[in-house]
Structure 1
Amino acid sequence: MGSSVALVALAAFFWGVSGGIGGILMADGWDAFVVSFYRGAVGLLFVLGWLVLRPHGSGLASGRLWFWSAVAGLGVAGNFTFYFLSIAEGSVAVAATLMYCAPVFVYLVSFTLRLEKPTAAKWVAIALVMLGIVLLTRIHDIGAGSVTMVGLGAGLLAGLCYAIFIFGFKYAAPHGSPQAILVIAFAVLVLLLAWPGDDEQRLSVLGAPDWPLFAALGVLGAGLSFVLYVTGLKHTTPALASIVAMVEPVTASLFGIVVLNEYLAGSQIFGMGLVLITVTALSVHSSAGRWRGARG
Structure 2
Amino acid sequence: MVGLSTVFVILAALCWGLSGGIGGILTAQGWDPVVVSFHRGAIGLLFVLAWLVLRPSSSGLASSRLWFWSAIAGVGVAGNFSFYFISIAEGSVAVAATLMYCAPVFVYLVSFTIKLEKPTLFKWAAIVMVMLGVVLLTGIYEIGAGDVTLLAAGAGLLSGLSYAVFIFGFKYAAPHGSPQAILVVAFSVLIIILFLLSDSEQTVEVLSAPSWPLFVILGVLGAGLSFIFYIVGLNHTAPAVASIVAMVEPVTASLFGVVVLNESLAALQILGMGLILITVTALSVYSSAQKESLAAKRLGE
TM-score after normalising by structure 1: 0.98
* Cα distance in 1, alignment partners of residues 9 and 216 from structure 2: 21
* Cα distance in 1, alignment partners of residues 58 and 33 from structure 2: 36
Note if 1:178 corresponds to 2:179. Answer: yes
What is residue 265 of structure 2 aligned with on the other side? 264
Deviation at 1:142, TM superposition (A): 3.1
What is residue 228 of structure 1 aligned with on the other side? 229
* Cα distance in 1, alignment partners of residues 24 and 143 from structure 2: 24
* Count of equivalent residues: 296
Post-superposition CA distance 1:22-60 (Å, at most 9, x none): 000000000001000000000001110111111111111
Post-superposition CA distance 1:189-213 (Å, at most 9, x none): 0000011121111110000000000
What is residue 132 of structure 1 aligned with on the other side? 133
Post-superposition CA distance 1:231-254 (Å, at most 9, x none): 000001111111110000000000
Residue 185 of structure 2 aligns to a residue whose secondary structure is: helix
Post-superposition CA distance 1:123-180 (Å, at most 9, x none): 1111111111111111112354321111111111100110111111111111111110
Deviation at 1:115, TM superposition (A): 1.6
* Cα distance in 2, alignment partners of residues 120 and 232 from structure 1: 32
TM-score after normalising by structure 2: 0.96
Deviation at 1:290, TM superposition (A): 1.4
What is residue 99 of structure 2 aligned with on the other side? 98
Percent identical pairs in the alignment equals 73
* Cα distance in 1, alignment partners of residues 113 and 57 from structure 2: 38
Deviation at 1:105, TM superposition (A): 0.5
- Following TM superposition, the consecutive aligned residue runs of length 4 or more in structure 1 with deviations greater than 4 angstroms are none
Deviation at 1:111, TM superposition (A): 1.1
Note if 1:38 corresponds to 2:42. Answer: no
Residue 201 of structure 2 aligns to a residue whose secondary structure is: helix
What is residue 278 of structure 1 aligned with on the other side? 279
* Structure 1 segment 1-296 matched on structure 2, within 5 A: 2-295=3-296, 296=298
Post-superposition CA distance 1:256-292 (Å, at most 9, x none): 0000000001111111000000011111111221122
Post-superposition CA distance 1:85-105 (Å, at most 9, x none): 111111000000000000111
* Cα distance in 1, alignment partners of residues 36 and 205 from structure 2: 12
* Cα distance in 1, alignment partners of residues 14 and 208 from structure 2: 29
* Cα distance in 1, alignment partners of residues 292 and 77 from structure 2: 26
* Cα distance in 1, alignment partners of residues 93 and 145 from structure 2: 17
AA in 2 matched with 1:146 = D
Deviation at 1:67, TM superposition (A): 0.8
* Cα distance in 2, alignment partners of residues 107 and 49 from structure 1: 34
Q: Kindly report the root-mean-square deviation, in angstroms, between the aligned alpha carbons of the 2 structures.
A: 1.0
Deviation at 1:116, TM superposition (A): 1.4
* Cα distance in 2, alignment partners of residues 292 and 73 from structure 1: 32
Residue 193 of structure 1 aligns to a residue whose secondary structure is: helix
* Runs of 5+ unmatched residues, structure 1: none
Residue 147 of structure 2 aligns to a residue whose secondary structure is: coil
Residue 255 of structure 1 aligns to a residue whose secondary structure is: helix
